[in-house]
Amino acid sequence: MRLMIEDDWNQQQSVACVQKVSNQNLSDVARQLTDHDQEFVRNTAQTLVINLIGDEDPGKIEEFALSDNWQVRERAIQSLSRSTNRAAIAILKKQVEAYPEDYVLVLRAIKQLGFGKGLELAFDGLKSEQANVQRASLETIEAITTEKHAVNVRDNILWNLPVLTNEMREFAKMLMSQITRDFDLPDIQIDEQSNTSTGVVDLPLFGDATASLRPANVSPLDLLRPGEVWMDRYHIKEEIGRGAMGRVMLAEDDMVDESLILKFMLPELTVDQQSTERFKREVKYARKVSHRNVIRVHDILLKDGVCAISMEYFNSRGLEAVLKEINFFETVEGLKILHQISGGMVAAHEQAVIHRDLKPSNILIDDKWLVKIVDFGIASAGTAAEATLTQTGSIIGSPAYLAPERAEGSDADERSDIYSLGVIAYYMFSGKLPYIGKPMEVLSMHRAGDAPPIMKINEEASPEVSKLIVKMMAVDPKARPQSMADVHNEVKELLDRLELPEEIS
């Protein structure tokens, strides 16, 4: 009787009641109405059938999983996610092939199912160009990885790093670190090479010899060891770091008798036009920024398939290393550092260059407390999918400094860098990161924005500094300072109030 009332709420309540007391007999009747002319009857019947199909035969739900109606497909996914039958994975795979737009929902279902076989579909998702699909894939991988597959899972993540968006690459590195710790795996460095032009290798998840997929030939870059000379000019002194797409070496330039840094792209990536264009754009964007607090980029170099960027050598250490030593900065000293960082960032933003990857490892400090920011070019060269060459030898990065809107896949603007600098400042004045947890947990923490006040961690922290950091770390970009110049000026005002004897430029 209530179904006859043409009111959405009454009809929905009636259907809910029917579902609660129904059984398989009703499912059989409802199946005859799944193609009814009236949309309400049709949708209601499909919902009843999907919800009442027995777990022993998920194949009966396949027709709904491949329906043209997205609502029907969504209900089918929800039903399959509650299954205890591994056959559900095959149906979900067919659904993704037919409707790629359902990928995120399918991955969430696989995560809930918990079957190791679902890893194959999750790794296919890493190759998607959409950040939300990549994120859902990493979340699924994190949830269903077991000791049995840990080594192969970590290898697959490693080989897929080049195609991940910048922010998802950081999550992936953190996930690799977690897998290494959780399953007591040996540490690894990113020195494996791809045998494809895209830098991606499809490793068998359940095979036993991934090493057979790695090329045996020696890379031309491997021949550049300490003591070697490149381009009849650059004496290689030492390798100081490597990342997912390149290596960083200290060299002596014989022509000008000066030390500099050479950042090399892995040779197998130079055959890929897109990767090469990224490298060129790094020089283009980084050279726009000229400031005493920004590392100077010189030129792009190419010889015998080996490509490198030359840049200023700055004898220093990372901000993170400094913080590990001193725990946190006193108010005045910390504000001086923050003033220099924001000054360099103002110069970048004036040239419309957004860093996108601002974090302590990209902030260098020498023994005179001079600060220089590095890695502008890669982070600012166009899209969020640009690759990042790290400054350290570790493969482990952290999403701890990622602005909430970046994690959602939106492009960056000045306010994204302001958020990242706010997290850095939080770390500088408290000695702790605001959000710590598993890779995907950190994402939700950034979105919630419930970081404990700095003064609860460090009682000596300045209330004015704490207030500025709260504004910089606002979840809503509109609630933050709207320009890095505003941040720079406010830091200067705080310093002026302390009546420092030295001049603050």
Query: Which of the residues are catalytic?
Result: 357
Q: CB–CB of 136/100 below 8 Å?
A: no
3 state SS for 206-250: CCCCHHHHCCCCCCHHHHCCCCCEECCCEEEEEEEEECCCEEEEE
- In this structure, what is the dihedral angle of CA atoms 389, 395, 401, 404, given to the nearest 10 degrees? 90
484 touches 345 (CB < 8 A): yes
Spatial neighbors of 53 by CB under 8 A, at least 6 apart, are 27, 60, 61, 79
Q: Are the CB atoms for 263 and 389 separated by under 8 Å?
A: yes
The CA distances from residue 57 to 33, 72, 171, 357, in Å, are 20, 18, 37, 48
Q: Comparing C-alpha atoms, which of 126, 112, 237, 249 is closest to residue 176?
A: 126
Q: What is the dihedral of CA 450, 454, 458, 459, to 10 degrees?
A: -110
Question: If 0-12 CB within 10 Å is exposed, 13-18 middle and 19+ buried, where does residue 248 land?
Answer: buried
Count CB-CB contacts under 10 A for residue 90: 14
Separation of alpha carbons 496 and 91, rounded Å = 65
Residues 6+ apart with CB under 8 A from 236: 224, 225, 226, 227, 228, 229, 230, 249, 250, 251, 262
